[in-house]
């Protein structure tokens, strides 16, 4: 599957899958321009429920800017339809309440608060504004469930600041879970992790991705190869190609602009990212 083809027929991730899964976010002609520079150029793609979908490409390809547009952080044109709503016309707080969340490269947790408190604060989305200051009685079931899912139950009362890097990333994913985010954009979630943490993160994404839409920006190609169900490749703000890991790796243009060093290293048995 390539960027070439019939005029006006964009790459739309998911077209090759059968039976067709449920479309979650339908992005059409998304463009982001900064002072005359086009950072994201007419991108169209489908994001599917129940699929772990990776966005890859060289630095400056437009991956994070694309996600910024979809989460209300930068202005853009085009459409991104989710449950009848155009995300590109909404403010960030409305997007979050609609069930779309994201993480950043540096985990945004409250270091001085416990793991449990971080999750409970994030779960405030479930409560009416007048009830937020009230003392809670017990731990809500959705918080307990998130603790178990992210594997931090034994650290529930520990300050988030003492967590290992990987554990902070899992906590941030847990904060999206308690917000009941059905679409999650994760920005380089395994950066700085060791091999065991990467594997645990991959298994976590598989678990939570069964009933959600997971979109991962990632540079770790070993992680992509192990856990991606669909891959979209961006280059200079445009969609270069999309497909399974095998299809993307076999694309000569992807090798030229992004995977060349990784492909060469793999051929010599050295691995690489």
Question: pLDDT tens-digit profile of 62-86?
Answer: 999 999 999 999 999 999 999 999 9
Structurally, the chain folds into a number of domains equal to 1
pLDDT over 80 at 186, yes or no: yes
Higher pLDDT, 130 or 228: 228
**CB 195: neighbour CB atoms within 10 A?**
10
Q: Note whether residue 251 is domain-resident.
A: yes
Q: Which residues contact 270 (CB under 8 A, 6 or more apart)?
A: none
Instruction: For residues 117-126, give the mean pLDDT.
Output: 83
Over pLDDT 90: what percentage of the chain? 72
Backbone angles phi, psi at 75, to 5 degrees: -70, 150
Higher pLDDT, 216 or 3: 216
Q: Note whether residue 154 is domain-resident.
A: no
pLDDT over 90 at 87, yes or no: yes
Confidence (pLDDT) at 106: 74
Bridge partners (DSSP) listed for residue 230: 53
Domain containing residue 78: CATH number: 3.40.50.300
Question: Residue 268: helix, strand or coil by DSSP?
Answer: coil
Question: Residue 43: helix, strand or coil by DSSP?
Answer: strand
Q: Note whether residue 273 is domain-resident.
A: no
Q: d(Cα 265, Cα 273) in Å, to the nearest integer?
A: 9
Q: Note whether residue 225 is domain-resident.
A: yes
Stated pTM of the model: 0.83
Q: Note whether residue 89 is domain-resident.
A: yes
Residue with the two structure tokens 């989710």: 82
CA atoms within 13 A on the CB side of 240: 26
Confidence (pLDDT) at 19: 46
State the DSSP code for 259: I
Q: Note whether residue 151 is domain-resident.
A: no
**CB 39: neighbour CB atoms within 10 A?**
20
Tell me which residue range forms the domain holding 40. Answer: 23-105+181-267
pLDDT over 70 at 5, yes or no: no
Q: Note whether residue 234 is domain-resident.
A: yes
Instruction: For residues 138-162, give the mean pLDDT.
Output: 93
Number of DSSP helices (H) and strands (E) in the chain, helices first: 10, 10
Q: Note whether residue 215 is domain-resident.
A: yes
Per-residue confidence band for 152, with pLDDT thresholds at 50, 70 and 90: very high
pLDDT over 90 at 113, yes or no: yes
Q: What is the mean pLDDT of the chain?
A: 85
Q: Which range among 18-27, 104-113, 160-169, 248-257 shows the weakest confidence by mean pLDDT?
A: 18-27
Q: Which range among 9-23, 27-41, 73-87 shows the weakest confidence by mean pLDDT?
A: 9-23
Question: Residue 270: helix, strand or coil by DSSP?
Answer: coil
Confidence (pLDDT) at 132: 46
Q: d(Cα 53, Cα 121) in Å, to the nearest integer?
A: 28
CA distances from 37 to 34, 82, 91, 239 (A): 5, 27, 23, 17
Q: d(Cα 247, Cα 2) in Å, to the nearest integer?
A: 10
Q: Could you tell me the two tokens for 249?
A: 């790796």
State the DSSP code for 127: S
End-to-end CA distance of the chain: 23
CA atoms within 13 A on the CB side of 46: 18
Confidence (pLDDT) at 23: 84
Per-residue confidence band for 105, with pLDDT thresholds at 50, 70 and 90: confident
pLDDT over 50 at 4, yes or no: no
Q: d(Cα 233, Cα 12) in Å, to the nearest integer?
A: 12
CB 239, CB 10: distance < 8 Å: yes
Nearest to 46 by CA among 88, 7, 17, 5: 17
Q: d(Cα 52, Cα 223) in Å, to the nearest integer?
A: 12
């Amino acid at each position: 599957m390539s960027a070439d083809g019939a005029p006006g027929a964009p790459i739309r991730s998911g077209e090759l899958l059968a039976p067709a899964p449920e479309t979650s976010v339908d992005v059409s002609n998304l463009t982001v321009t900064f002072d005359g520079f086009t950072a994201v150029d007419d991108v169209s793609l489908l994001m599917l429920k129940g699929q772990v979908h990776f966005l890859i490409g060289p630095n400056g390809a437009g991956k994070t800017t694309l996600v910024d547009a979809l989460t209300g952080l930068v202005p853009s044109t085009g459409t991104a339809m989710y449950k009848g709503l155009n995300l590109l016309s909404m403010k960030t707080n409305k997007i979050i309440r609609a069930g779309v969340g994201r993480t950043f490269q540096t985990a945004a947790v409250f270091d001085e608060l416990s793991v449990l408190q971080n999750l409970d604060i994030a779960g405030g989305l479930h409560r009416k504004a007048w009830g937020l200051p009230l003392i809670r009685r017990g731990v809500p079931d959705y918080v307990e469930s998130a603790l178990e899912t992210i594997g931090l139950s034994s650290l529930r009362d520990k300050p988030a600041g003492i967590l290992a890097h990987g554990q902070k990333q899992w906590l941030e994913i847990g904060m999206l879970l308690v917000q009941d985010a059905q679409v999650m954009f994760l920005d380089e979630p395994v950066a700085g992790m060791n091999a065991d943490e990467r594997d645990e993160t991959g298994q976590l994404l598989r678990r939570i991705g069964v009933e959600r839409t997971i979109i991962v920006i990632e540079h770790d190609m070993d992680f992509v190869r192990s856990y991606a169900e669909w891959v979209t490749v961006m280059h200079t703000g445009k969609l270069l190609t999309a497909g399974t890991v095998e299809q993307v790796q076999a694309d000569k243009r992807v090798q030229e602009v992004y995977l060349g060093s990784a492909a060469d290293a793999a051929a010599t048995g050295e691995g690489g990212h």
